[in-house]
Amino acid sequence: MSLVEINFDGIVGPSHNYAGLSLGNLASTRNAGDVSRPRAAALQGLDKMRANLALGLAQGIFLPHPRPQRAWLAELGTTIEEAEPVIAANAMSASAMWAANAATVSPAPDTADGKCHLTVANLRTMPHRSLEWPSTYGQCALAFADTAHFQVHAPVPCAFGDEGAANHMRLAPAHAEPGIEIFVYGVSGGPFPARQHIEASKAVARLNRLDPARTLLVQQSEEAIAAGAFHNDVVAVANERVLFAHEQAFADKDGLIAACERQVPGFDYVEVAAADVPLDDAIRSYLFNAQLVTPPDGQPTLIVPTEARETPTVWRWIERHVAGNGPIRRVEVVDVRQSMANGGGPACLRLRVVADPTTVDPRFVVDEAKLDRIADAIGRYWPEQIHRGELQQPGLIAEIERARAALLDALDLSELA
């Protein structure tokens, strides 16, 4: 097999809105009630995928989930038309676009059976996210149906919160070689909930059949969570031999570095000091919620949102690092403002899967032509804008359901209807 890293991006759904549902996500709270632009949001996401293709990266997609989530509403004894506004907002959330929370992925070189394992996240901390997993599981089971190469697991019991790859990192000499897997959990976040439980992380590691000797459990710092780093990927990201993190990301930074130095040949730790970039600036700009990737030309590249360039402390640090001899050799800037305003940057939008692309259902792998088809459906059917107060209007509900059906038809994925 030819194993490469495939980035599966969530297509921003037609119900994308700013309802402010995510406690601890400062951007989500700050922009609650603003008018959203679903069509622009989805097209911004496609442009990011096109930029990845231009770098020579493999690119996949996940589809928007059914919205409103009528089955969930029925379990609550109501309908989208009759539900209380806050319940309706949960049922209309497009948060499944943040594919980093879809699952935790352990590639074949790390697992006992030589398969790529995916454990779907339960996302139980937030109501609007807890209803995502059945649709996520259905898509993963379809995209990775080749059981000779993949094993897809249902979520761990909801007694323990699991938020997927946003709290998981992998270090290895190269993507296709055996590595170590780092599970980052929270204990306390001051006024905000710690969303990733240590017992969930332990369970995922067992389900994914990882070697305990090459599995690290690392505590996220309380100050990072309290500052708005609701997931580890807001303050740290790893790629091959490189761990890129804020000084205040981890409760025991020195212990983590020592373990990585012992187990990862050529390990390189890149730290952003709080004196150079305060934690608040790092979180507001989503410097670390970036895609750290290795294109075919071998130049480690950091894909950051435009907000990173607009934050002086962050951009000064980036320019200084790239001008020096650091491991990050190139920086690409992408505009995902609609996602950023709801609390998710470039890294939130994608799930990393190391696999042979030929073993994935081809309907979930994209090229420029397929992105053109998706863009056409979005341009034709996605609402131009949505205000939170409109979420229960029959005309908008019908438009959202029609839009998703058109995309499924364009991609020959009627099984997901």
Catalytic residue annotation: 163, 231, 348
Q: Coil, strand or helix: which one is 38?
A: helix
Backbone angles phi, psi at 167, to 5 degrees: -120, 30
Residue type, 135: S
Yes or no: say if 136 and 120 are a contact pair by the CB < 8 Å rule: yes
d(C-alpha 315, C-alpha 323), whole Å: 12
Cα-Cα-Cα-Cα torsion 19, 20, 23, 27, nearest 10 degrees, comes to 140
Q: Coil, strand or helix: which one is 372?
A: helix
Sequential DSSP letters for 280-329: HHHHHHTSSSSEEE--TT---EEEEEHHHHTSHHHHHHHHHHHHTT-S--
Q: Coil, strand or helix: which one is 224?
A: helix
Cα-Cα-Cα-Cα torsion 166, 171, 173, 178, nearest 10 degrees, comes to -90
